[in-house]
Structures are given as C-alpha cells and as structure tokens.
C-alpha cells in the first residue's frame, strides 16, 4: 500500500506530460520596459498566440542591465516550454562581446523564430549641407573627425550599426553617446550632432514632419514605414551594408523538440496573419519568417559580426 501514492504521482505526472502543449499559461519574459520595441513586438505576438492556442501568453517585463537581467532569468528557467524569452540582438548578439554575462546565448537558448527585423535609418537635421547619401559620404571623407554621430549609448545597436557603416563607407567621425535615443535625436534635429543611425520606428514620425531628413535605410530592402527613402547600400555606394536589429522568441536550452516545433508552427502562423503583419508594420517593425533549423547559424553570424565591429572600433563599456 505504501507504493500506491508513488504510483499515483507517477501516473499523474505522465498524464500531465501527455497533455498537448500548451496545457496552461505560458510566461514570456521581456528583458526591457513596457513600450520598448521588443516589448511591443512580443506583446502583439503573445496576444496572437493566445488566440491561436486558447492558453494565456503572459508578458513579464524584467528590465535592467541592457536586457541581460531578464535574459539571465529566462536562461535559468525550467526548459519545459512554459517560460519563453522575447530575445533581441542587444543581449543575445552584442553584449557577449562587451562584458561578462551569466549566460551564453548559443549554449543556453534555442531560438525558436525571428518575428521582426528592424531597419535603421541614417538621419540628419534639415539644415545639414549634404543633400543625399553620396554627398554625405563625400563630405565626411573630405573632413575626417570633423563631424559627430550620436547613439543611445556606447555599445548599443545604434552605435555598432553606425560604426559598421562608417567603416564600410571609409569615413571617420566622433561618437557622442547619450542615455537613450530621444535626447540623441533631439540634438541631431537641432544640429548639435551631425547624424545618427537609429531605428526607423523611432525616426519615421520626425522624418515625415520635417524635423529630420533621412538619407538612407540600413537594410537591402526599403523600409515599409519610409518607402521613399533609398537604402544606404544603393544611395551611399556601400553595396554590402545590410544591418538591422532583430527580435525573436527563444526558449531555455533543453526544451523538448516537440514543444519547439509546436511553438515554431504557431509563430509562423501568427506572423503570416494579415492583421499581425499590419500591426507590426504600423509600429515600424518588419515581420520576418524563419525556421528553428536556420537560426543557430544566424545567431553565430550576428554575434561574430558585432564582435568584429567591437574589436575593430575598440569599443569598451564600463563594468
């Protein structure tokens, strides 16, 4: 009779495991505050997943330490599919090359799907003397270190994408880091800083109102939110410049393959829905499709590229 409770417990556990996934609420850790791009995209997709599966997908904001705090919490969570991470390029692709972390992205996570690839735009004040990207490059080449560029902080994605562009275009300018993109953009508008490469989502409204002028976008395809702005690859004569931030859904390493496959299928279904595409595009976020099989190579390429930029530009952040 003493064996009975143990047998019942095992049977109940087996029954719970046999239930189709998801059988109860799923937590989505967002390592950023509400309103940030990763949070916006993750919430939109979580709502769609809830509609499709009939189970709650609950967003849990864990901001701090440039996204590494919440990412670390997700890495240490049970690998059962009921805690997911709204992953993004900063804490996953960039920070491992800037500082010591409590997690290793390629070891501690399985990236289930990309959900958006977010283009950036090179913007200047309306009074800036160069009228297009080719004039811009020629002007800066002729005046090394005379001009300045802003970013939302040393080591931020905007900083690295600007350093990458500067290197590929053969220009030299002085970096002015800010605490956030809003004050940086304000100083670009006022002409106190020469230029900035910032997300299309952040600059599109200022460009349309005439407070900023966009010379090009960072991806090989034009941005839906700024359809009249050419790509920097074509407009600046830098054909290989193709860079963007990314947002995706990840799970702790060891999550069962069948759970990853179900999540991947549901995410692809969500991202192909016309209403989801429209919502993301209206937020300045470009939806993308991907499969779990191609994502490990993608993660390696992204981390290696940013590591090269950080090394070549000798970028360091304070511990």
What tens digit of pLDDT does each residue of 110-145 get? 999 999 999 999 999 999 999 999 999 999 999 999
Question: What's the pLDDT score for residue 18?
Answer: 58
Question: What's the pLDDT score for residue 10?
Answer: 44
Angstrom distance (rounded) from CA 149 to CA 174: 6
Residue 289 clears pLDDT 80, i.e. is over it: no
Of the pLDDT bands very low, low, confident and very high (cuts 50, 70, 90), residue 11 is very low
Question: What's the pLDDT score for residue 319?
Answer: 60
Question: What's the pLDDT score for residue 193?
Answer: 98
Q: Give me the percent of the chain exceeding a pLDDT of 70.
A: 94
Residue 201 clears pLDDT 90, i.e. is over it: no
Question: What's the pLDDT score for residue 258?
Answer: 96
Q: Judge whether 140 and 134 are in contact, CB under 8 Å.
A: no
Measured in whole angstroms, the distance separating CA 269 from the mean position of its chain's CA atoms is 21
Residue 176 clears pLDDT 50, i.e. is over it: yes
Residue 312 clears pLDDT 80, i.e. is over it: yes
Of the pLDDT bands very low, low, confident and very high (cuts 50, 70, 90), residue 180 is confident
Question: What's the pLDDT score for residue 74?
Answer: 98
Of the pLDDT bands very low, low, confident and very high (cuts 50, 70, 90), residue 13 is very low
Question: What's the pLDDT score for residue 123?
Answer: 98
Average pLDDT of span 138-166: 95
CA distances from 43 to 22, 61, 171, 205 (A): 18, 11, 39, 22
Question: What's the pLDDT score for residue 236?
Answer: 97
Residue 177 clears pLDDT 90, i.e. is over it: yes
Of the pLDDT bands very low, low, confident and very high (cuts 50, 70, 90), residue 14 is very low
Residue 165 clears pLDDT 80, i.e. is over it: yes
Residue 5 clears pLDDT 50, i.e. is over it: no
What backbone phi and psi angles, to 5 degrees, belong to 221? Answer: -115, 140
Question: What's the pLDDT score for residue 282?
Answer: 84
Q: What are all long-range contacts of 313-319, with beta carbons under 8 Å and residues at least 24 apart?
A: 313/160, 313/163, 313/167, 315/98, 315/154, 315/155, 315/159, 315/160, 315/163, 316/98, 316/154, 317/98, 317/99, 317/154, 317/155, 319/99
Average pLDDT of span 176-201: 94
pLDDT digits (tens, 9 = 90+) for 248-277: 999 999 999 999 999 999 999 999 999 999
Question: What's the pLDDT score for residue 1?
Answer: 46
Question: What's the pLDDT score for residue 19?
Answer: 76
Residue 186 clears pLDDT 70, i.e. is over it: yes
- What domains sit in the chain, N to C, each tagged with a CATH number? 23-118+244-313 (3.40.190.150), 119-235 (3.40.190.10)
Angstrom distance (rounded) from CA 60 to CA 39: 10
pLDDT, averaged across the chain: 91
């Amino acid at each position: 009779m003493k064996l009975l409770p143990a047998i019942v417990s095992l049977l109940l556990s087996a029954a719970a495991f046999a239930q189709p996934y998801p059988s109860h609420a799923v937590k989505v850790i967002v390592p950023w505050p509400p309103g940030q791009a990763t949070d916006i995209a993750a919430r939109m997709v979580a709502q769609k997943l809830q509609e499709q599966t009939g189970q709650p997908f609950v967003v849990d904001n864990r901001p701090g330490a440039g996204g590494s705090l919440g990412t670390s919490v997700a890495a240490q969570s049970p690998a059962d599919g009921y805690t997911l991470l709204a992953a993004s390029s900063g804490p996953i692709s960039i920070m491992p090359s800037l500082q010591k972390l409590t997690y290793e992205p390629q070891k501690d996570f399985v990236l289930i799907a990309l959900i958006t690839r977010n283009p950036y735009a090179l913007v200047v004040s309306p009074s800036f003397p160069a009228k297009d990207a080719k004039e811009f490059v020629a002007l800066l080449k002729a005046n090394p270190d005379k001009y300045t560029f802003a970013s939302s902080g040393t080591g931020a994605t905007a900083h690295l994408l600007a350093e990458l562009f500067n290197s590929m275009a053969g220009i030299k300018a002085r970096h002015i880091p800010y605490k956030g993109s809003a004050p940086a953009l304000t100083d670009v508008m006022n002409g106190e800083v020469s230029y900035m490469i910032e997300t299309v989502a952040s600059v599109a409204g200022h460009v349309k109102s005439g407070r900023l002028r966009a010379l090009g976008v960072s991806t090989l395809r034009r941005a839906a939110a700024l359809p009249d702005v050419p790509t920097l690859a074509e407009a600046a004569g830098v054909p290989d410049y193709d860079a963007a931030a990314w947002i995706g859904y990840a799970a702790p390493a060891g999550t069962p393959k069948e759970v990853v496959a179900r999540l991947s299928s549901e995410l692809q279904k969500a991202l192909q829905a016309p209403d989801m595409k429209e919502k993301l595009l209206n937020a300045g976020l470009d939806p993308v499709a991907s499969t779990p099989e191609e994502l490990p190579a993608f993660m390696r390429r992204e981390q290696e590229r940013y590591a090269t930029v950080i090394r070549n530009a000798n970028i360091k952040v304070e511990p």
